[in-house]
Structure 1
Amino acid sequence: MGIGGIGMSAFARLLRARGHTVSGCDSAPSELLDTLQAEGVRVQIGHDAAHVPGVDVLVASEAVPKTHPELVAAHAAGVTVRPRMSLLDELLRAGPSVGVIGTHGKTTTTSMIAVAMQGAGLDPSAFVGGIVPEFGSNARMGAGPFVAEVDESDRAFADLGCETAVFTNAEDDHVGGDQATYWNTVEEQHAGFARFVAQSGRVLSCADWPGLDELCVGAREHLRYGQAEAADYRAVNLRPDEEGTNFTVQFRGDALGEARVSLPGTHNVLNALAALAVTHLYGGNFAQAAQALADFRGPGRRWQRVGELNGALVVDDYAHNATKVAAAVQAARQTGRRVRVVFQPHRYLRTQQSWPRLADALMNADDVYVLDIAAASEAPIPGIHATLITERMRANGHAGVGYRPDRAELLSELRRTAAAGDILVTMGAGDVWKLARELAGGAS
């Protein structure tokens, strides 16, 4: 169910590669569904209990209501119903595995680990929350290790474990709502991270992120990566430029070699360092892994270069909470261009919880255009509106911010004013990516 989702479609591809007959349904057509059909997966549009007869196993997200007609029909027919995290658990425990956890950077880090491993002469399988250009997919089938993005928005992730847990950071995203994809408190969510770590063979955590050591006290083996002196794997001598960053990688004081990440931003140095550390732990060739990462341009919607407009660079990024937005703005500043951001707030609850932080995270951009909130199936919350962000930014002295509810007018304005030396970044977890394509003339 929901086979058009980025995670479910990856499951479909992995299961089909293992020889299973896979079918699925989703509520609306999409490019991803078209691709799955072209690959031989039978896809139906819409949800209907009639999809269930003849099926042995029904895989569904925990977010699907237990009263859904397809689930009811499956239970009535004796069909095995499996949550998606149960399926991921089986894949992680089947052999050598790497699970990437944390609030930010999971998709990029998971992609980088798989790409670095492949470049280093290993043959990873991969389960990623984005399309990896090197694979042309969000999944890869190999002999192993299995590298997986483990999403904390599904609370069942805390029951899982793996051979090597990569722990990027821990903040307060997906907290405070009554939906299946939200935790009641940040303490509960962080306890979930700690359980995953304790149930894994070892953890590689980011030494630069405060508080992770406390969540790793139950680890059987604890390694760290980062710029901090206490890190086992360190990135030193960072040399940023407008396209990315060169740096030196050390392991416990000894140089492993030189590396480059062709994505701007310090956060991407850390993501690449994690990938090189994991590849080193699994015996891959460092120089080959470093070259593969130097060639890597990022997964879909993670600092994705979409094209140009009047000489301006058009980039799309999934950044949707304050930490990710601040990191994306810092990456844009690293290019040396005039930074112009189109931001789409995501979810009413998230906006209610974090609009001041979102406003502050956008302050370093030169121009900011804020769209209406992407509801993502949430009901509106009285008083929560995109203008909370723009008004705070103006009050704090930003002269280049505006609320833009009319996309056609915004497109016209940007097409008229974009110039060489600009970088136009569309940011958000909703459908703001469509604007990037329109700005770049339909490029993809």
Structure 2
Amino acid sequence: MAPPPSDMTDSSSTTTPLHYHLMGIGGIGMSAFARLLVARGARVSGCDESSTELTAQLQAEGIAVESGHAAAHVTTEPHGKIDVLVASEAVPKDHPELVAARAAGIEVRPRMALLDELLRAGPSIGVIGTHGKTTTTSMIAVALAGAGLDPSAFVGGIVPEFGSNARVGAGPFVAEVDESDRAFAELGSETAVFTNAEDDHVGGNQATYWATVEEQHAGFARYVAQSGRVLLCADWPGLAELCVGAKEILSYGQAEEADYRAVNVRPDPDGTSFTILFRGETLGEARVGLPGLHNVLNALAALAVNHLYGGEFGPAAAALAAFGGPGRRWQRIGTLNGALVIDDYAHNATKVAAAVQAARQTGRRVRVVFQPHRYLRTQQSWPRLADALMDADEVLLLDIAAASEPPIEGIHATLISDRMAGNGHTGIRYLPDRAEVLSVLRQSAQSGDIIVTMGAGDVWKLSRELVEPEAGGVSG
């Protein structure tokens, strides 16, 4: 990784590291920040509402983690004087811990300001877009590492090759830049990888939502304009219009005009092989061991970045061919009575449709356990969610995962199941009782099936419970 920025140490001493306290340290993003800060020589502590596997891992790595959020973390200094308190935009500005920090003269730094420091510290690649960021960021880091370029990485998921959601190396720094934090629009990177732009995280009054899709897309445009160059997906309509302010524009996709093209695409039950061209010249053969055309595009973006940063194509392509995906992104969990059990984070219509298409590519009977995520998102998109699930052979539908949102009158998971049944789907069942879901699948799973637990809530727990009797835990 590049040398630490000057503010990682106290200006009064070149030997005293700054103490960062991270609120919500057990989150997938904050935990990655914690690991990167420690690697850069800072002191780190944090707190979270609940104890999780991630908080336990951080504690095992020597990072102090307090349970719950309280002003006492600041006022009693259980782990020493705090120099910087880091919080996401989702934390209310009148939270007692933030109020105590400001009263004590402690800098309260937004999480995106911290990411901005890391992006500006050296050569950087920021992955933006409403779909595929975690997988694409992971693939870029894996490809660069395979080519011997020793990247650092900040990822919104656990990358099996790194055993972590963060990697520390000499550079360049590869980061997932999440548009759910509106402050992302003030950032930029040496290279912006722009996967797509849709209407996710739009509407409502949540701190992590945009008022309109136009405002969100303007945020994407600002990020691109503040970056050195953009590598955009030529297959996604409208991206070029959002990149008119870019200093340099490159593209990837299947479209004929793309600078980096995937051609001769050959899907099979276990993944997809394809040829990569750069402006008409063959770079080489590639393969992704994850099904679905969206993963071809993600891998193409990764190998394009590897090419831009001078990495050798062959080793990078080999690393990607062996890549099994980050946690909760088409994650192979195990088997049940010979049926393949997969867990996937897909939670909006585009992601759900892509995951169903990936499942169909395996040639198995597609059985989906779907958990709608958030009342507002369901209100905005339940017809599209229903249509995206129509290609599954069977769908077992859970109740909506509220994610701290209050219920919205008239918004219920049965909107999805009723539309699917009305459109002729005979395999849709609303099953809010999870014990019944497990019972149905355990009794009926066969070797020709693929069972996909799908959603951004806690549906992933079911996939682990399904494989426990046979596989004894998580694989892949």
Aligned partner letter, 1:211 = G
- CA distance in 1 between partners of 2:345 and 2:432 (Å): 20
- 1:299-340 per-residue CA deviation (whole Å, 9 max, x = no partner) reads 000000000000000000000000000000000000000000
3-state DSSP class of the match of 2:378?
helix
Match of 2:421 among 373, 378, 394: 394
Which residue in 1 is equivalent to 2:400? 373
Which residue in 2 is equivalent to 1:51? 73
After TM superposition, the score normalised by the length of structure 2 is 0.93
Which residue in 2 is equivalent to 1:443? 473
Question: Where in structure 2 are the equivalents of 1:341-356 lying within 5 Å?
Answer: 341-356=368-383
Match of 1:413 among 412, 417, 440: 440
Q: What's the offset of the Cα at 1:255?
A: 0.2
- CA distance in 2 between partners of 1:343 and 1:124 (Å): 35
Which residue in 1 is equivalent to 2:42? 20
Aligned partner letter, 2:473 = A
Which residue in 1 is equivalent to 2:272? 245
3-state DSSP class of the match of 1:330?
helix
3-state DSSP class of the match of 1:357?
helix
Which residue in 2 is equivalent to 1:103? 130
- CA distance in 2 between partners of 1:421 and 1:230 (Å): 40
Which residue in 1 is equivalent to 2:140? 113
Q: What's the offset of the Cα at 1:21?
A: 1.1
3-state DSSP class of the match of 1:81?
strand
Match of 1:423 among 440, 447, 450: 450
- CA distance in 2 between partners of 1:244 and 1:32 (Å): 30
Match of 1:5 among 21, 27, 35: 27
Which residue in 1 is equivalent to 2:4? none
Which residue in 1 is equivalent to 2:296? 269
Match of 1:256 among 258, 261, 283: 283
After TM superposition, the score normalised by the length of structure 1 is 1.00
- CA distance in 1 between partners of 2:464 and 2:339 (Å): 13
- CA distance in 2 between partners of 1:74 and 1:171 (Å): 37
- CA distance in 1 between partners of 2:261 and 2:87 (Å): 40
- 1:232-274 per-residue CA deviation (whole Å, 9 max, x = no partner) reads 0000000110010000000000000000000000000000000
Q: What's the offset of the Cα at 1:443?
A: 1.6
Aligned partner letter, 2:33 = F
- CA distance in 2 between partners of 1:182 and 1:47 (Å): 23
The reply on whether 1:188 has 2:250 as its aligned counterpart is: no
- CA distance in 1 between partners of 2:375 and 2:145 (Å): 40
Which residue in 2 is equivalent to 1:330? 357
Aligned partner letter, 2:61 = E
Question: Where in structure 2 are the equivalents of 1:131-280 lying within 5 Å?
Answer: 131-280=158-307
**Identical pairs, percent:** 81
- CA distance in 2 between partners of 1:149 and 1:25 (Å): 23
3-state DSSP class of the match of 1:425?
strand
- CA distance in 1 between partners of 2:195 and 2:226 (Å): 17
3-state DSSP class of the match of 1:22?
strand
3-state DSSP class of the match of 2:89?
coil
Instruction: List alignment gaps of at least 5 residues for structure 2.
Output: 1-22
- 1:8-49 per-residue CA deviation (whole Å, 9 max, x = no partner) reads 000000001111111100001111111111111111111111
- CA distance in 2 between partners of 1:216 and 1:50 (Å): 46
Question: Where in structure 2 are the equivalents of 1:65-84 lying within 5 Å?
Answer: 65-84=92-111
Which residue in 1 is equivalent to 2:324? 297
Residue correspondences, number = 444
